[in-house]
Amino acid sequence: MTRHSLNRPQTVAIIGGGPAAGTLAILLIRAGFRVALWHKPKAATLIVGESLVPALIPILRQLGIEDEVRKYSVLKPGATFNLAPDLSFSFFFEALHGLPRYAYNVPREKFDATLLAAARKAGAAVFESPAQLTAEAHTDRVALTPETLAATNGYFSGQPDWIVDATGRFRLLPNLLGLSSQEGKRKDTALFAHVDHAHLDHEGHVHTTRMDRGWSWRIPLPGRVSLGMVVPSEHLPQWGATPEDQYDGLCQHDSQLRRVAGHSRRLTPVMKYTSYQLVSERMFGANWALVGDTAGFVDPVFSSGLFLGMNGAFLLARALAKGSPEALQQYERESRHHLQTWQNIVEYWYNGRLFTCFKVGQKRRDTLLVKLIFPHMNKHMGRVFAGAASHSAYSIGLLRFAMKYGLEDENPEDLKVR
């Protein structure tokens, strides 16, 4: 990578207009870069990732947008997991140490617009059109097409020094360059829509419920609830041919959904997603980088997606500011660490071990040992639901120890997500 002197700021083209793109643009401009962002407005207003985690609040503060986000969001004081009709766990963020004791549930179209507006205000040029890229023959470099470059009206006098793909699951650069990726083991499909109401154990909590097959989420938003379901793909055709038929059929026939949302009225069309875990084989090249979902994403069960994407933007901004191959390598290592850690945590959810351990703790809560270790375990296990687990090697080590040795004679198959 070529190093630039301080009197010649680097130029960066960011393709995409989501939270990772907006975050990266703000940070790079603060570091002295000249930044343009290509944003194609989304036709759909429903986007996965409506529930934030406490670990994101410091990021919102650093970006200067928390006050704006608060105005249109629902305060989220915790998370509730409904594992069976008679077995639930609720976690309140007030028990956290070193992290904010709240988060927000956000209408994503407003949240994304807030970040895009903040990027504009910071000084990024925003072009509301798709960008066209080409791969330079026999090199590891990419470039804006002459037409895309000309459309900047001189904002860039030549090719930008760096091109960052923040297009999410569209994955513009990986598709252009033929980059492979590692997919998760499960082949699930997610369906989600907004409904007028649903049962909530605690106001503001994101609720996660084991279904007869798969699992569902309920996220309280202003005047509505986001209700989604993640189910094995082969389970869907029996409920109909369209996403709406499948969604409505599951709401009426799954015993757990019928209990919590059987009388809900759907307010929106149904969105459908089929890929839920993916990590790109490479996250940077000679003059390009990937950030956010383009680089990798995990199953949304713990609401970690937005944190991973926006935290990744901080990591990439730091690497570009340092301007060395070693800094980009560190960016990729750290990004992979966070993704892999959350993949492991998600697997503990699906195989039943995570909440079997909590069930054992609840059953033994009156014993002296549990009374002694509970505050310590609660502090570190709480980091999972706060989104900060992958930042603490000790918390993750403790979690892995508990998953291996903390189940006693309980069978995790009983709480497995089928």
DSSP line for 319-378 = HHHHTSHHHHHHHHHHHHHHHHHHHHHHHHHHTSHHHHHHHHHHHTTTSHHHHHHHHHHH
Closest among 84, 31, 80, 75 to 54, alpha carbons compared: 75
Question: 243 - beta bridge partners?
Answer: none
Q: What is the pLDDT of residue 376?
A: 59
**Chain centre to alpha carbon of residue 162:** 24
Q: What is the SS3 assignment for 40?
A: coil
Residues paired with 220 in a beta bridge: 225
Which residue carries 């570009």 as its tokens?
A: 320
Query: Where do the domains of the chain lie?
Result: 11-50+107-181+277-344, 188-273, 352-415
- For residue 89, give the nearest of 217, 198, 207, 197 by alpha carbon: 207
Q: Which residues contact 156 (CB under 8 A, 6 or more apart)?
A: 11, 13, 34, 36, 144, 149
pLDDT reported for residue 398: 76
CB 200 within 8 A of CB 161: no
Q: Does domain 11-50+107-181+277-344 bear CATH number 3.40.50.11890?
A: no
| Residue range 18-73, pLDDT digits in tens | 999 999 999 999 999 999 999 988 766 788 889 999 999 999 999 999 999 999 99
Helix-, strand-, coil-residue percentages of the chain, each rounded to 5: 45, 20, 35
- The pTM of the full predicted model, rounded to 2 decimals, is 0.91
Which CATH architecture fits 188-273?
2-Layer Sandwich (3.30)
Rg (CA), the chain: 22
pLDDT at 4: 43
CB 202 within 8 Å of CB 273 = no
- In the prediction, which pLDDT does 369 show? 56
Reported in sequence order, the residue ranges of 29-177 that DSSP labels E, i.e. its strands, are: 34-38, 74-76, 78-84, 87-92, 103-105, 125-127, 133-135, 142-144, 162-165
Residue segments in the chain with a per-residue pLDDT below the cut of 70: 1-9, 43-44, 95, 275, 362-383, 389
Residues 6+ apart with CB under 8 A from 89: 80, 81, 83, 355, 358, 362
Token pair belonging to 132: 């066209």
Helix 108-122 to helix 19-30 angle (10° resolution) is 20
